[in-house]
A = this chain, B = another copy of it.
Amino acid sequence: MKLTILKDQLSESIQHVSKAISSRTTIPILSGIKIDATPKGVMLTASDTDISIQSFIPLENDGIENVQLVQTGSVVLPAKFFMEMVRKLPSEQIEIEAGENHQTIIRSGTAEFQLVGFDPEEYPLLPQVDEEKVISMSSDLLKAMIKQTSFAVSTSETTPILTGVLWSLTENNLKLIGCDRHRLASRESQIDTPPDQVIKSVVISGKTLSELNKILPDHNSLIDIVFTETLVLFKLSNVLFYTRVLEGVYPDTSKLIPQQFQTEMVIKSKSLMDAIDRAYLLTRENKANIVKLVMNDDQTIEISSSSSDLGKVKEVLPVSSHSGNLLQISFNSKFMLDALKVIDSEFVHIGFTGPMNPIVIQPEDGTRILQLILPYRTTS
């Protein structure tokens, strides 16, 4: 293998694939990035067996010559070092030459590195993906749907299936759900796909989806998503992101969501969020982060919390509409803040079915987001 490549393009590709490098891998070769130089361009690959990411640098695009290929071939280089080294190289042109025993020489300006490479033959093969079930959607929508659901997944490995986000598709309606034992976040959207395309129940790690979100492009573009029994593949323009599907049966969450409310209110999102954020300050010492909400009969609510060490806070806010019984309810303020943060609507609708039952938060702008949090059962 011998080629010259542009620093910025190489750097960006390394950054993309390095999201799949685990610092705790027990398989030495997986601490490396595989470089394949082909007549079409240079492909970088990294994997931790759960996620694999490939980034392709074409010989040329937009009239810019990214790669001057002298000889095709492959080598695997230590990821962490390779990444830092490329960033610090003095010239925009980087020459990479793999020789005997995978010894690799990297030249740039006055600098010359000789790196100990791994044998590319030993690098695990990526799975062949059967492209039977493919959906296409805009990267902006995908990003938003992931952001609005993945924060709510469980971080506990005792129920692995709940660390994932549930994906389903029927009648052009894509739905994502993340939940743990205390809260649930769901987001639905119509997408443009043949109406007989059905995805029953595919669960993808919430953490993996957050990593994917970091790679999704800043400008809106179309993403193909390929679903198989065991894998999902996200196809960006020059990046392939493979992730394993979580095994197990995702619980039926539909019964958790109240179909009608005893009490409803509409309130300005930002003023509610800021007041809860201040009340949250006093609750950080205890795990439950309990904040109390009391509805008054004058179209206001009171948000309050207290700490034996520090003191207490209360704040009265106007609601813009209210119906049903007046109630008092306590909840985890951290969960409420998380839910409010991903709703990008000036007003939110909050529905209650009594002080012991789930609280449902939805945007007033029509976006099909539903956030549910369980109240905290206090004695007072």
Q: How far, in Å, is A291 (CB) from chain B's closest CB?
A: 13
Q: Does A310 contact B (CB under 8 A)?
A: yes
**Known contacts A277-B88, A281-B81, A281-B88: does B116 contact A311 (CB below 8 Å)?**
yes
Q: Which of A45-53, A105-113, A344-352 contacts B (4 or more CB under 8 A)?
A: A105-113
Q: Mark A261-291, 1 if CB is under 8 A from B, else 0.
A: 0000000000100110110011000000000
Judge whether A229 is part of the interface by a CB distance below 8 angstroms.
no
The interface size of chain A toward B, counting residues with CB under 8 Å, comes to 32
Taking a contact as CB atoms under 8 Å apart, the answer to whether B313 and A112 are in contact is yes
User: Is A314 part of the contact surface with B, judged by Cβ < 8 Å?
Assistant: yes
A274→B311 contact, CB < 8 A: no
- Assuming A110-B317, A317-B110, is B309 touching A116 (CB within 8 A)? yes
Known: A110-B316, A317-B110. A278 touches B311 (CB 8 A): no
**Number of copies of chain A assembled together:** 2
Q: Which of B84, B103, B112, B275 contacts A315 (CB 8 A)?
A: B112
**A6 part of interface (Cβ distance < 8 Å):** no
Q: Is A73 an interface residue (CB 8 A)?
A: no
Within residues 136 to 188 of chain A, which ones have a CB less than 8 A from any CB in chain B? none
List residues 301-326 of chain A with CB under 8 A from any CB of chain B: 309-317
- Check A99 for interface membership: any CB of B closer than 8 A: no
Q: Is the CB of B110 within 8 A of A315?
A: yes
Given A90-B274, A274-B90, verify A81-B310 contact (CB < 8 Å): yes
Q: Does A78 contact B (CB under 8 A)?
A: yes
Nearest B residue to A90 by beta-carbon distance?
A: B274
A281 CB contact (under 8 Å) in B84, B277, B315, B316: B84
Residues of chain A in range 70-115 having any CB-CB distance to chain B below 8 Å: 78, 81, 84-85, 88-90, 103-104, 110-115
State the Cβ distance, A277 to closest chain B Cβ, in Å: 6
What are 23 A-B interface contacts by the 8 Å CB criterion? Answer: A78-B310, A81-B282, A81-B310, A84-B281, A85-B278, A85-B281, A88-B277, A88-B278, A88-B281, A89-B278, A110-B271, A110-B315, A110-B316, A111-B278, A111-B313, A112-B313, A112-B314, A112-B315, A113-B278, A113-B311, A113-B313, A114-B312, A116-B310
For the complex of A and B, 5 pairs with smallest distance between CB atoms: A115-B311, A113-B313, A114-B311, A111-B315, A116-B311
